[in-house]
């Protein structure tokens, strides 16, 4: 405690430096509080994304299509909360571009924003056309904007099916592009 008179004497001799030091300490504490608030907000945003988009539990992946009867049996197993069948195939939309993934899964008629990480706004389907959702690379590679149409070669030897782009979704797995179609239209 013998150094305390020296500290006070130094503070009185250099008032400008003392004010700058004190204000620097105040700013440092303010920045710490701000960073804590940003960190808390980020943590909450990540937790919300995990609740909305990431589903935990067991996933089963088979090489061959699973019969509907098998899916029904799995639904009836105690502890199974939800089942969903997804089929992924590749289709070629243009010869000068790599094949894109065609993902068939249940979407239903309800709002799909809770099932897919939609970028921007999704629109209602167009009567007479199959509604699809495209990944972000599809917009840049094929100009598949919301509201545009795509010709999808669904079956070999048959004419392509015209599909209406209802929305764009964020896909981190396929950089060549992907299209999601409801299982009832596949």
In angstroms, rounded to a whole number, what is the distance separating the alpha carbons of residues 67 and 83? 13
In angstroms, rounded to a whole number, what is the distance separating the alpha carbons of residues 184 and 186? 6
Higher pLDDT, 183 or 100: 100
Asked whether residue 59 carries a pLDDT value surpassing 70, the answer given is no
The mean per-residue pLDDT over the stretch 148-167 comes to 89
* Spatial contact of 122 and 133, defined as CB atoms under 8 Å apart: yes
Asked whether residue 4 carries a pLDDT value surpassing 90, the answer given is no
- DSSP state at residue 72: H
Percent of the chain with pLDDT over 90: 18
Q: Backbone dihedral region of 168: left (phi > 0), alpha (psi from -120 to 50 degrees) or beta?
A: beta
Asked whether residue 31 carries a pLDDT value surpassing 60, the answer given is yes
* Spatial contact of 115 and 180, defined as CB atoms under 8 Å apart: no
In angstroms, rounded to a whole number, what is the distance separating the alpha carbons of residues 87 and 186? 10
């Amino acid at each position: 405690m013998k150094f305390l008179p020296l500290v006070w004497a130094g503070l009185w001799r250099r008032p400008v430096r003392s004010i700058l030091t004190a204000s620097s300490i105040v700013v440092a504490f303010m920045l710490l509080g701000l960073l804590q608030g940003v960190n808390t907000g980020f943590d909450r945003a990540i937790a919300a994304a995990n609740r909305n988009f990431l589903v935990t539990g067991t996933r089963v992946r088979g090489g061959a299509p699973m019969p509907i009867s098998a899916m029904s049996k799995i639904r009836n197993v105690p502890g199974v909360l939800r089942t969903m069948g997804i089929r992924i195939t590749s289709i070629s939309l243009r010869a000068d571009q790599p094949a894109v993934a065609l993902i068939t899964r249940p979407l239903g008629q309800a709002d799909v924003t809770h099932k897919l990480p939609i970028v921007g706004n999704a629109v209602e389907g167009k009567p007479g056309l199959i509604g699809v959702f495209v990944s972000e690379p599809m917009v840049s590679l094929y100009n598949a904007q919301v509201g545009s149409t795509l010709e999808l070669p669904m079956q070999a030897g048959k004419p392509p099916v015209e599909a209406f782009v209802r929305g764009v979704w964020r896909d981190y797995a396929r950089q060549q592009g992907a299209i999601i179609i409801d299982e009832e239209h596949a």
